[in-house]
Amino acid sequence: MATKFKGIKTAAEYRRGELTRDILKLVAAGVVVGGMAVAAPNTLQLIDYLNPKGVRERKRIWSTIRYLEQKNRIRIEERGHDQYVYLTSAGETKLNEDTIWELAIKAPYRWDRKWRIVMFDLPSKHEQARKSFRLKLEDLGFKLYQRSVFIYPHECHQEVLTIAKWYGVDEYIRYIVATEIHDMRRFVQEFDLL
């Protein structure tokens, strides 16, 4: 049986690191109980929602919940006989960071024959953000055109803006749509657009 949330797996299907991310997602969204979203799920609801098949999987979920609590990503509050789970600001930051790294650009069926050029010139105080921003652009499939200038053949303005805002450098980013570039043949081949 699958879970009710799209993209959330059962406990048995998780690889290393995936369970922590999805527990954070469930806590952030609130677990759905009886057709209603609960703002702060209790730990038993959280475990049952992941549909564990046996003691071993249940222990794995508990272990992950305790790990997230130790890392200050969730807060467990006891009320009566129940324990309720809340997302902390550190947990929210981690969840947003994971979302940024899962971001992908969907390529259309046909290329519109336009190039998207992303340029940036960040002050030295943003050195770490610059490295992370470059890494994410490369991860999305952008090609380096020249220093601090990347190129991509498909619409990606919203994705670039989301990444830039996450790293706090959106004011230094320029997004250009061009119909012609000097060495177009090379990039047509690199992006396999023929």
How do 143-146 and 36-37 pair as beta strands? unpaired
Q: How many CB atoms within 10 Å of residue 171?
A: 8
Which ranges of the chain have pLDDT less than 50?
1, 32-38
- Helix 18-29 with 55-70: angle, nearest 10 deg: 70
Fold of 105-190: Alpha-Beta Plaits (3.30.70)
Q: How far is CA 102 from CA 21, 62, 99, 130, in A?
A: 11, 25, 5, 19
How much is the pLDDT for 160? 94
Parts of the chain belonging to CATH 3.30.70: 105-190
The alpha carbon dihedral of 22, 24, 29, 32 has a sign of positive
How much is the pLDDT for 1? 47
Nearest to 137 by CA among 161, 112, 110: 161
pTM to 2 decimal places: 0.64
CA distance 74 to 132: 26
Quick one: CATH architecture of 11-99? Orthogonal Bundle (1.10)
Parts of the chain belonging to CATH 1.10.10.10: 11-99
Mean pLDDT of all residues in the chain? 83
